[in-house]
Amino acid sequence: MTATSKYFSGTEKPHETQHEEEHDPRQYLMYDPKPRGEMNAMVMESMLTTSWKFWVVFGILSVLVATCFFYAWGYMIAEGLWVAGVMRPSYWGIFLVNTVFWIGISHAGTFISAILRVFKAEFRRPFTRAAELMTTFGLIQAGASIFMHLGRVWLAYWLFPLPNARQLWPNFHSPLMWDLLAITTYVLGSTMYLFLPLIPDLAMARDRSTGWRKVFYRILALGFRGTEGEWRHLQTAMNFFAFAIIPVMFSVHTIVSWDFAMAMRPGWSSTVFGPYFVLGALHSGMGAVAVVLFIMRTTMKHMDYFIRKEHFDALGKLMLIVTFAYSYFFFNDYIVQWYGGDRWTDTLLHWLEEGPMAWMFYQLIFFNLALPAFTLWNRKIRQTPWLLAIIGLLINLGMYWERYLIIPVSLTINRMPFTWKLYEPRIEIFLTIGTFSMFLLFYMIASRLIPLVPVWEVQEGQMTHTLRKVGKAHVPTVSEFE
Amino acid sequence: MADTTLLAVFQDIDPAANAIEKLHEMGITDDQINVISGVPVAHRMLGRPHPHTNVSRLSLGGAIAGFAFGFFLNFGTPYLYIVPVGGQYITPIPPGMILLFEMTMLFALLATFLGVFLDSYFPNYRPMEYVAEVSDGKIAVFFKVPEGDQKKFTDAIGKLGAESVKRAEAQQL
């Protein structure tokens, strides 16, 4: 009786109806097409609709960027690095923690866009751009953090191979120079990779805009019309980028890991640091993508059409796989050091487990290993956007702690106990808030200026997906257009 | 007699493909036809020749130039500006591999990006033949016809499902 009344009141559906709904292909974006003009209008409206809440958040972030980023950095430049907490033995502090963290965040954009494009994973289509933007904006913060770390930032050009009166010449065999070259390659490569697929959408926006926006989009669209030749050149380039940017992506975080692994220090000298860092980067980047997609879906108009539960589900599965891979490397790195029996490494490991920063170590294990591994098995959790976003956020917190433990904490426990002193960040805290605020601010500005959903890619995908009748069922079918 | 460019707009790929086939039958060659669309449409769907691109060649050229530049930085400049590092070779090969890899990839990516600009003549802000409905999913076929045959082609293509067939005019995008 209860079940019947629930059925008639609409709160519970009979099993068959539920079954049909679960298999309703229209729940998937690729099988729920809309006319292209309507999709264009939706994306344009999402850019042009701005509520007062947007401006409040925008204002707060602008103030934070002005004070915590520009003012604090200017103050540090004027006063010198003594206003920061970096000092013997931890000369590498939060600035480099932030650098590694932001480079890590930047990895998921390329990973999602390039690897999924290479493997033709269709679920990628609506959110590749949001992920690629994360790469560019994350790398800007990483670059800024390196310059902060330099202290005398006006001498940064000494890193470049420019003959000068003092005959300073960069040593290309130093891991720090590899960093410069790899990050420069990655910044330029990922920015170009972001821009190329954006051109057709900028042309679409140009055709639908007036006033200053028309001028803005006309300049950026470069005169794109969509001729056969233009598409061919664009697709050839995008395919090349998709393949070429993957090894660059792997090289960047591997080289970042070598900044540490090449030094014979307790906690740093490890042969698995390269892949361990790459997996860590993907782990934090995936989590950040989940957060970004959740914010986009909940705050921007019409985004619930483009970003659906299926996308969170697919992302959740990727996060689960990355969790296992990351766990494997984490354990591998840990047990080899633990088993090695080196006195100072043992001391460091005991310090991590029982010292004043042990809370970070245990949060790292819980947020990065246990939480995603035990929750993302569940489809309902994966398909609940806010839950996946919270898991993604906590993974990022754990990854930040991981970098903090690797850099200033590992530097504290060295082979000279008389130098041991726990690192205490000072102005770095404000500058960290500044970089996070700037990252968010860039996203907010981008959401008003460029289509965050690649409409042409979505439509291309919808054209290739059809339902084919096999027996009594309609079976999803994908055809190859290229 | 001077040629006139006509513009036919289609709702879908099928009538556009039929129209191109008809144009071929009426003596219009592929180099007199241009198709623009809001999504990439494979050339074989429209019965068109494979568009030529130099992008991949430029990528390869960029990679070679990058390798050469990396080689120069790595194995050439240390002799120009010697940095003595205790016990190390002036030009050790294993660390040099990293520089070679990064420079090769950087130049290849830059060349690919510039290749799109060169092959597509970007940026191009001159008035061009265009129809804005293309970005709403329609397909536009531009074709050159002899001045006097305009009506014959307009009627023929109109019968094949074109939404409109008219003289193409260059416009500021």
Which of the residues A125, A180, A183, A185 would you substitute to probe the B interface, choosing the one with the greatest number of B C-beta atoms within 10 Å? A185
> Given this model, what pLDDT does residue B32 score?
92
Is the domain of B46 the same as that of B97?
no
**Nearest-Cα residue of chain B relative to residue A461:** B39
Pseudo-torsion of CA A62, A63, A69, A71, nearest 10°?
A: 130
Exposed/middle/buried for A96, CB within 10 Å: 0-12, 13-18, 19+?
buried
> Given this model, what pLDDT does residue B88 score?
73
> Given this model, what pLDDT does residue A1 score?
37
- Dihedral of alpha carbons A348, A353, A359, A361, sign: positive
Determine what percent of chain B is predicted with pLDDT higher than 70. Answer: 98
Which of the residues A240, A241, A248, A249 would you substitute to probe the B interface, choosing the one with the greatest number of B C-beta atoms within 10 Å? A240
A444, two tokens: 């907010």
- What are the tens digits of pLDDT across the range A320-359? 999 999 999 999 999 999 998 889 999 999 999 999 999 9
> Given this model, what pLDDT does residue A21 score?
54
Mean pLDDT score, A394-405: 97
Check B135 against A226: CB less than 8 A apart: yes
Note whether ipTM > 0.90 here.
yes
Check A223 against B124: CB less than 8 A apart: yes
Tell me the shortest Cα–Cα distance from B76 to chain A, in angstroms: 11
Check A237 against B83: CB less than 8 A apart: no
Which of the residues A216, A228, A248 would you substitute to probe the B interface, choosing the one with the greatest number of B C-beta atoms within 10 Å? A228
* Sequence-ordered list of residues with C-beta below 8 angstroms from that of A370, at least 6 positions apart, any chain: none
Tell me the shortest Cα–Cα distance from B149 to chain A, in angstroms: 25
> Given this model, what pLDDT does residue A328 score?
96
Confidence of residue A265 (pLDDT cuts 50, 70, 90): confident
> Given this model, what pLDDT does residue A134 score?
92
Is the domain of B11 the same as that of B42?
yes
Tell me the shortest Cα–Cα distance from A256 to chain B, in angstroms: 12
Check B95 against A248: CB less than 8 A apart: no
Mean pLDDT score, A425-452: 96
Check A456 against B101: CB less than 8 A apart: no
- What are the tens digits of pLDDT across the range A104-151? 999 878 888 888 888 888 888 998 999 999 999 999 999 999 999 999
Tell me the shortest Cα–Cα distance from A233 to chain B, in angstroms: 6
Q: Is A206 on the interface with B (CB under 8 A)?
A: yes
**Nearest-Cα residue of chain B relative to residue A173:** B95
Is the domain of B62 the same as that of B39?
no
From chain A, pick out residues whose CB is under 8 angstroms from the CB of B126. 223
Q: Is A181 on the interface with B (CB under 8 A)?
A: yes
- The CATH superfamily of A50-445 is Formate dehydrogenase/DMSO reductase domain (1.20.1630.10)
> Given this model, what pLDDT does residue A160 score?
80
Residue A441 predicted with pLDDT over 90: yes
Q: CA of B43: how far to CAs of A184, A233, A237, A458, B10, in Å?
A: 37, 13, 17, 20, 16
Is the domain of B116 the same as that of B132?
no
Region of residue A226 (left: phi > 0; alpha: psi -120 to 50; beta: else): left
Q: Is A227 on the interface with B (CB under 8 A)?
A: yes
From chain A, pick out residues whose CB is under 8 angstroms from the CB of B11. none
Would you call the peptide bond into A417 cis, given omega within 30 degrees of 0 as the criterion?
no
Count how many domains chain B has: 2
State in Å, rounded, how far the first CA of chain B is from the last one.
29
- What are the tens digits of pLDDT across the range B111-139? 999 999 999 999 999 999 999 999 888 99
CB pairs < 8 Å spanning A and B: 186
> Given this model, what pLDDT does residue A175 score?
86
Check B98 against A206: CB less than 8 A apart: no
Is the domain of B10 the same as that of B40?
yes
B172 by DSSP, 3-state: which? Answer: coil
Mean pLDDT score, B33-41: 92
- For residues A90 and A412, is the Cβ–Cβ distance under 8 A? yes
From chain A, pick out residues whose CB is under 8 angstroms from the CB of B130. 225
Residue A451 predicted with pLDDT over 80: yes
Q: What is this structure's pTM?
A: 0.91
Is the domain of B60 the same as that of B48?
no
Question: From the list B39, B45, B77, which residue is nearest A161 (CB)?
Answer: B77
From chain B, pick out residues whose CB is under 8 angstroms from the CB of A232. 40, 51-53
In chain A, which among 4-43 make CB contacts under 8 A with chain B? 35-37, 40
> Given this model, what pLDDT does residue A479 score?
75
Which of A286, A244, A241 lies closest to A107, judged by CA?
A286
Tell me the shortest Cα–Cα distance from A125 to chain B, in angstroms: 13
Where along chain A do the CATH 1.20.1630.10 domains lie? Answer: 50-445
Tell me the shortest Cα–Cα distance from B10 to chain A, in angstroms: 14
> Given this model, what pLDDT does residue A482 score?
61
d(CA A417, CA A88): 12
> Given this model, what pLDDT does residue A347 score?
92
d(CA A34, CA A43): 12
Determine what percent of chain A is predicted with pLDDT higher than 90. Answer: 72
Which of the residues B31, B89, B105 would you substitute to probe the A interface, choosing the one with the greatest number of A C-beta atoms within 10 Å? B105
Confidence of residue A481 (pLDDT cuts 50, 70, 90): low
Check A223 against B173: CB less than 8 A apart: yes
- Dihedral of alpha carbons A285, A289, A291, A295, sign: positive
> Given this model, what pLDDT does residue A11 score?
46
Which of A130, A103, A128, A131 lies closest to A118, judged by CA?
A128
d(CA A92, CA A385): 37
> Given this model, what pLDDT does residue A18 score?
54
- Which of the 8 DSSP states describes residue A26? G
CATH label of the domain that carries residue B30: 3.30.70.120
Check A169 against B128: CB less than 8 A apart: no
Mean pLDDT score, B39-61: 92
Residue A234 predicted with pLDDT over 90: yes
Check A229 against B77: CB less than 8 A apart: no
In chain A, which among 68-87 make CB contacts under 8 A with chain B? none
**Nearest-Cα residue of chain B relative to residue A262:** B95
Question: From the list B53, B95, B173, which residue is nearest A233 (CB)?
Answer: B53
- Minimum mean pLDDT among A4-13, A364-373, B152-161: which range? A4-13
Mean pLDDT score, B67-73: 94
Check A244 against B112: CB less than 8 A apart: yes
Check B36 against A227: CB less than 8 A apart: yes
Tell me the shortest Cα–Cα distance from A239 to chain B, in angstroms: 10
Is the domain of B72 the same as that of B114?
yes
Would you call the peptide bond into B123 cis, given omega within 30 degrees of 0 as the criterion?
yes
Domain of residue B47 covers: 3-52+126-171
> Given this model, what pLDDT does residue B3 score?
84
